[in-house]
Amino acid sequence: MPAQPSHKPSGHVGDVPGDADPTGLRADARRNRERILEAAREVFAAQGVDAPISAVARRAGVGVATLYRRFPTRTALATAAFTEQLALCAAAFDEALADPDPGHGLYALLEKVCTTQVTDRGFASVFLDRFPDALDHDHERDCAEEGLARLVRRARETGQLRDDFDPADITLLLLANSGLAGQPRETAIAASRRLLAYLFQAFQAQRPGSLPPPAAMQLREIRRPPGRP
Going residue by residue through the chain (229 aa), what tens digit of pLDDT does each one get? 444 333 333 333 333 445 545 555 677 778 889 999 999 988 988 888 889 999 999 999 999 999 999 999 888 898 888 877 777 777 888 899 999 999 999 999 999 989 988 888 777 666 555 444 545 445 555 666 777 888 888 999 999 998 888 888 888 898 899 889 888 999 999 999 999 999 999 999 876 667 678 777 665 655 554 555 4
Where are the domains positioned within the chain? 20-81, 83-223
Give one word for 122, left, alpha or beta, with left for phi > 0 and alpha for psi -120 to 50.
alpha
Phi, psi of 161 (to 5 degrees): -120, 145
Task: Look at the domain 20-81 and name its fold.
Answer: Tetracycline Repressor; domain 2 (1.10.357)
Question: Which residues, in sequence order, are bridge partners of residue 204?
Answer: 161
Phi, psi of 204 (to 5 degrees): -75, 150
Q: Which pTM was predicted?
A: 0.67
| Cα angle: 147, vertex 150, 153; to 5 degrees | 150
Domain 20-81 and domain 83-223 have a common topology:
yes
CA distance 210 to 23: 51
Query: DSSP characters for 152-198?
Result: HHHHHHTT-B-TT--THHHHHHHHHHHTTTTS-HHHHHHHHHHHHHH
Best CATH choice for the domain 83-223 from the list 1.10.357, 1.10.3470, 1.10.10, 1.10.1060: 1.10.357
